Structure 1
Amino acid sequence: MFGNIGWGELVILLVAALVILGPDRLPGAITWVTKSIRQVKEYANGASQQLKDELGTDFEDLRKPLADLNQLRGMTPRAVITKHLLDGDDSIFTGNFDTKKQNEGGPTVQKPSMEKKPSMEKKPSDTALPSGQTPPIDSDAT
């Protein structure tokens, strides 16, 4: 339920609760919060069980589209590319290229080179015009 809250946030919440409530009321507040969370979980489990009992086999028919929607929720552009174009192999994004395929005689994937290639562009000193001369204008490009 609190999967996004880390230890640092919990410590900050406890310190804030200690300052706001004081050491006398803090234990009672913690027990009230834990009981409330437990009760909400029981209500949610009871509601889903009641739906299962009332709908029977139709509950599974309702559950499948919801599961598909939940799967779409996690789809990012990277996940779509990995799933559909790269057959689930995300080594191109992580840089961990599979050497097992090389040993099996499968297709090899080479790691992209990080070397700088010489630039084909002219340096500013090569393109400088003598003073008083106008640059050429390409009418097709403008």
Structure 2
Amino acid sequence: MLENIGWGEILVLVVAGLFILGPERLPSAAAWLGRTVRQVREYATGARQQLRDELGPEFDEIRKPLEDLRELRNFDPKRAVTRHLLDDGDSDFRAPDYRATNNGYSDYPPPAPRPAQKPLQPHERPPFDPDAT
């Protein structure tokens, strides 16, 4: 929870606390905050241990899907798509290889060869296809 807070943020909080509480009450407020955070952690650890004791081996079966959900929270779709499109490793999203079916023969005929295109001459108009527009 607090692992994402850096030294800059802590410094801003201390300065804001100095302005809001004053130098007299800031140490006691920091001590109170520390005790409260420690107490909340102890409650959470106690609740987890109580669940583990009551559920026994079923606790691990419940915990696994929750860990999977935690991994989804850090899911980056851009990185996942890039990894699946550009990596050569095994992927679930890989296109099927039709050449490997039916003993090396494809179900589809090979594509017809495209006619060679010659370059346009100067001031020549490119071909126009009214159906394509």
> Is 1:57 aligned to residue 36 of structure 2?
no
Shift of 1:85: 6.5
Question: Superposed, which structure 2 residues align to 1:41-80 within 5 Å?
Answer: 41-77=41-77, 78-79=79-80
1:82 is aligned to 83
Shift of 1:80: 5.5
RMSD: 3.0
> Structure 1: how far apart are the matches of 2:47 and 2:21?
34
> Structure 1: how far apart are the matches of 2:7 and 2:21?
21
Shift of 1:15: 0.4
Q: Which runs of 4+ in 1 moved over 6 A?
A: none
| Partner SS state of residue 130, structure 2 | coil
> Structure 2: how far apart are the matches of 1:80 and 1:55?
39
Closer, same or farther: CA 57–10 of 1 in aligned 2, 3 Å: same
Closer, same or farther: CA 85–52 of 1 in aligned 2, 3 Å: farther
Count of aligned pairs between the two proteins: 99
Question: Superposed, which structure 2 residues align to 1:1-142 within 5 Å?
Answer: 1-77=1-77, 78-79=79-80, 81-82=82-83, 86=87, 87=89, 139-142=130-133
In the superposition, the TM-score normalised over structure 1's length comes to 0.59
> Structure 1: how far apart are the matches of 2:63 and 2:9?
34
Shift of 1:9: 1.1
Unaligned residue ranges in structure 1 (runs of 5+)? 89-125, 128-136
Shift of 1:68: 1.7
Closer, same or farther: CA 63–71 of 1 in aligned 2, 3 Å: same
Closer, same or farther: CA 67–80 of 1 in aligned 2, 3 Å: farther
In the superposition, the TM-score normalised over structure 2's length comes to 0.62
Shift of 1:81: 4.5
Percent sequence identity over aligned pairs: 55
Unaligned residue ranges in structure 2 (runs of 5+)? 91-121
> Structure 1: how far apart are the matches of 2:56 and 2:12?
46
> Structure 2: how far apart are the matches of 1:51 and 1:34?
26
